[in-house]
């Protein structure tokens, strides 16, 4: 369900890390030769009161001219 939500927003999951990044909105830092992607990370936890979904902001930094 979480994957479908992020895919609907055009976010891309990198690996099986449960981190989703906006591949269309990134920043190139040419002086450092890196590309910065902003996104979100998600995680489910089972608590005594039920299932808990934790969503945090995430950043992916890629060296070189590689773009998703």
Res. 65: pLDDT tops 80: no
* 68 vs 66: CA distance, rounded Å: 7
Instruction: Show me where the domains of the chain are located.
Output: 2-63
Q: What span, in angstroms and rounded, lies between the C-alpha atoms of 5 and 12?
A: 11
pLDDT tens digits for range 8-44: 888 888 777 788 898 888 898 888 889 898 999 888 8
pTM over 0.75? The answer is no
């Amino acid at each position: 369900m979480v994957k479908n939500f992020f895919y609907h927003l055009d976010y891309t999951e990198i690996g099986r890390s449960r981190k989703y990044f906006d591949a269309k909105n990134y920043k190139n830092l040419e002086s450092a030769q890196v590309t910065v992607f902003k996104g979100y990370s998600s995680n489910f936890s089972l608590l005594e009161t039920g299932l808990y979904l934790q969503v945090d902001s995430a950043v992916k930094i890629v060296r070189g001219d590689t773009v998703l």
